[in-house]
Amino acid sequence: MLPVAWRFGQPSPLPGFRLALCGTLLWLAVIVLIPLGGVLLRSSSIGLAGIWEIATQPRLMAALRLSFGLSLLAGVFSLVVGLLIAWVLTRYDFPGSRFLDAAIDLPFAMPTAVAGIALTAVYAPNGWFGAPLAALGLKVAYTPLGIFIALVFIGLPFAVRTIQPVLAETEVELEEASATLGATRAQTIRKVILPPLIPAALTGLALSFARAVGEYGSVIFIAGNIPFASEIAPLMVVMKLEEFDETGATAIAAIMLGVSFAMLLVINLVQAWTRRRLGHG
């Protein structure tokens, strides 16, 4: 090894650091950083005022409001349902529980376009669920409610998979102590079981929200894409692109990237906060 006056990083007997790091950085730059930098550069060419002007066009405003609002709603709903599913899967041993546990990852594995047309067919006015719901006067497909259903499909695994490991680590002894000290089961759940889950729940919410805001394939089929009613932000990017309005597309993309970065920051802050609370460094 060459004698160097200053080393990048701490010394290690293992070889290949420079090769691996340089390869990684090169690949990261080519595939991720330069393209995203291009989007930011292109959108900055019209300035914040330009982005604001595009973002406040009524049709786009409606799409952004729908995307962010529904993503948050779907995230919160996924969190509640995900908590229930995670609880049942980690706490109760019943025939088929392992099968259900494996099936949680179905939305990760299923191509979004397939999920999209399948959900649309299920909730269409003549679909398996759509027909009975339509008889009750509830229209799901081609309305924001349909988008909500698709976003829950996409978001549920995030909620379950972030809560599950934390739930599995909780100590039953604490619950027993709580019960022995006279707490009812409901009190134990509220005061002993739920508080340690808050960081994981926030992380799960942020992950499913970030995914939902950017989700395209599973949403556009069931959304119906009616201007001012059921258009989502990613669809507006594709539409601008198809109109060869790259600047407009990058402006919307910049807003969405801003939200992605904010979500990443939230996740990292929550995790740092958890580590501090648990006293690891």
Partner 1 sequence: MVESTIFREPMKRDRDVADERPLVRRLLIALTVGLMAIFFFTPVALVFVEAFRKGAPAFLNALGDPDTQSAIRLTLLVAAIAVPINALFGVAAAWAAARFQFPGKSILITLIDLPFSVSPVVAGLSYVVLFGSRGYFGPWFAAHGIPVVFALPGIALATTFVTFPFVARELIPLMQQQGVDDEEAALTLGASPWRMFFTVTLPNIKWGLLYGILLCNARAMGEFGAVAAVSGRIRGETNTLPLHVEVLYGGFDLAGAFAVASILAGLALVTLIVKTILEWRHADELAISRRR
Site residues for partner 1, 70-99, by CB under 8 A, read 81, 84-85, 87-89, 92-96
Half-sphere CA count of 195, side-chain side, radius 13 A: 9
Contact 199, 270 (CB under 8 A): yes
Fill in the amino acid letter for 262: A
CA distances from 54 to 231, 236, 242, 247 (A): 16, 11, 17, 10
Contacting residue, 2, 4, 6, 16, with partner 1 by CB under 8 A: 16
Q: How far is the CB of 58 from partner 1 (least distance, A)?
A: 21
Indicate the residue among 142 and 158 with the shorter CB distance to partner 1.
158
Contact 39, 253 (CB under 8 A): yes
Which residues in the 158-197 window bind partner 1 by CB under 8 A? Answer: 158, 161-162, 164-165, 172, 175-176, 179-180, 185, 188
Q: How far is the CB of 8 from partner 1 (least distance, A)?
A: 6
Q: How far is the CB of 140 from partner 1 (least distance, A)?
A: 12
Contacting residue, 3, 15, 195, 281, with partner 1 by CB under 8 A: 15
Q: Is 226 in the site for partner 1 (CB under 8 A)?
A: no
Q: How far is the CB of 125 from partner 1 (least distance, A)?
A: 15
Closest CA to 185 of 174, 194, 175, 195: 175
CA distances from 203 to 211, 212, 271 (A): 12, 14, 8
Contacting residue, 76, 122, 145, 198, with partner 1 by CB under 8 A: 122
Q: Is 264 in the site for partner 1 (CB under 8 A)?
A: yes
Indicate the residue among 124 and 143 with the shorter CB distance to partner 1.
124
Q: How is residue 130 written in tokens?
A: 């759509």
Q: Is 3 in the site for partner 1 (CB under 8 A)?
A: no
Q: Which stretch binds partner 1 (CB under 8 A): 53-61, 120-128, 130-138, 139-147?
A: 120-128
Indicate the residue among 180 and 195 with the shorter CB distance to partner 1.
180
Q: Is 64 in the site for partner 1 (CB under 8 A)?
A: no
Which residues in the 22-41 window bind partner 1 by CB under 8 A? Answer: 23-25, 27-28, 31-36, 38-39, 41
How far, in Å, CA of 140 to CA of 133, rounded?
8
Q: How far is the CB of 122 from partner 1 (least distance, A)?
A: 5
**With left for phi above 0 and alpha for psi between -120 and 50, is residue 215 left, alpha or beta?**
beta
Contacting residue, 112, 134, 139, 145, with partner 1 by CB under 8 A: 112
Q: Is 117 in the site for partner 1 (CB under 8 A)?
A: yes
Q: Is 21 in the site for partner 1 (CB under 8 A)?
A: yes
Number of chain residues interacting with partner 1 (CB under 8 A)? 101
